[in-house]
């Protein structure tokens, strides 16, 4: 029997919130993943500088995922110089896990729609499957180049992810939580509370360290 796939959830995590965590748990269980690796980027390639350091974002991810079986915090992007490209991250995970292990790059719908702007994006299916978790409010058609890339690769169930180590694209419904890190940062900047949008332990640490003021 082929091995259970490893899920890879990269992000800025500025900060991590329930919009990352609950859909990730949906995928872990629905797709029978061996684990999900939360990989905070050091320097994001597609956005401005995060408000807190990569080490601080990583520590919050660690707090949020601690104690959930199957959730793993992975610091490999912090150990690499330069911009944090997912291509390099997947290449290093592929090197660690060998040629047979199915890898699943997990993306929100919004991130997937921008995939054609990523470094070496057309080579990503050579390294991993792509699992798109549906995010509320983004149902516009894909741009033609991404549509042409996606259509021949679409797969429909978790078994397809186990049959091959890479190359499929699965659209997977997840719990719809319209939560963003942007919203949380804005609330904190205004002195309002983001409580119930992210784990209590993460919020406590944000307050203790006076982050996002």
- Binding residues for ligand ATP, per CB under 6 A? 11-14, 19-20, 23, 107-108, 110-111, 133, 135, 177, 179-182
We find the least distance from the C-beta atom of residue 87 to ligand ATP, in angstroms, to be: 15
We find the least distance from the C-beta atom of residue 96 to ligand ATP, in angstroms, to be: 22
| Residue 71 to residue 177: CA distance in whole angstroms | 19
Nearer CB in complex with ligand ATP: 115/166? 115
Q: Which of 80, 61, 68, 78 is nearest to 9 (CA)?
A: 61
Nearer CB in complex with ligand ATP: 92/180? 180
Nearer CB in complex with ligand ATP: 12/167? 12
* Cβ pair 100, 94 in contact under 8 A: no
We find the least distance from the C-beta atom of residue 178 to ligand ATP, in angstroms, to be: 6
Nearer CB in complex with ligand ATP: 3/33? 33
We find the least distance from the C-beta atom of residue 201 to ligand ATP, in angstroms, to be: 18
Nearer CB in complex with ligand ATP: 166/172? 172
We find the least distance from the C-beta atom of residue 119 to ligand ATP, in angstroms, to be: 16
């Amino acid at each position: 029997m082929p091995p259970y796939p490893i899920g890879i959830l990269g992000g800025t995590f500025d900060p991590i919130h329930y919009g990352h965590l609950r859909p990730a748990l949906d995928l872990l269980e629905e797709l029978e993943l061996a684990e999900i690796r939360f990989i905070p980027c050091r320097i994001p390639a597609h956005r401005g500088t995060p408000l807190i350091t990569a080490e601080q974002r990583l520590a919050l991810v660690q707090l949020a995922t601690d104690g959930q079986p199957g959730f793993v915090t992975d610091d490999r992007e912090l150990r690499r110089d330069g911009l944090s490209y997912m291509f390099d991250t997947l290449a290093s995970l592929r090197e660690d896990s060998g040629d047979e292990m199915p890898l699943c790059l997990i993306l929100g719908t919004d991130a997937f729609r921008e995939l054609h702007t990523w470094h070496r994006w057309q080579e990503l299916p050579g390294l991993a499957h792509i699992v798109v978790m549906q995010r509320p409010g983004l149902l516009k058609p894909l741009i033609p180049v991404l549509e042409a890339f996606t259509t021949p690769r679409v797969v429909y169930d978790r078994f397809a992810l186990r049959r091959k180590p890479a190359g499929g694209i699965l659209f997977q419904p997840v719990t719809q939580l319209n939560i963003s890190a942007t919203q949380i940062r804005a609330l904190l900047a205004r002195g309002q509370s983001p409580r119930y949008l992210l784990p209590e332990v993460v919020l406590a640490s944000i307050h203790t360290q006076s982050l996002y003021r």
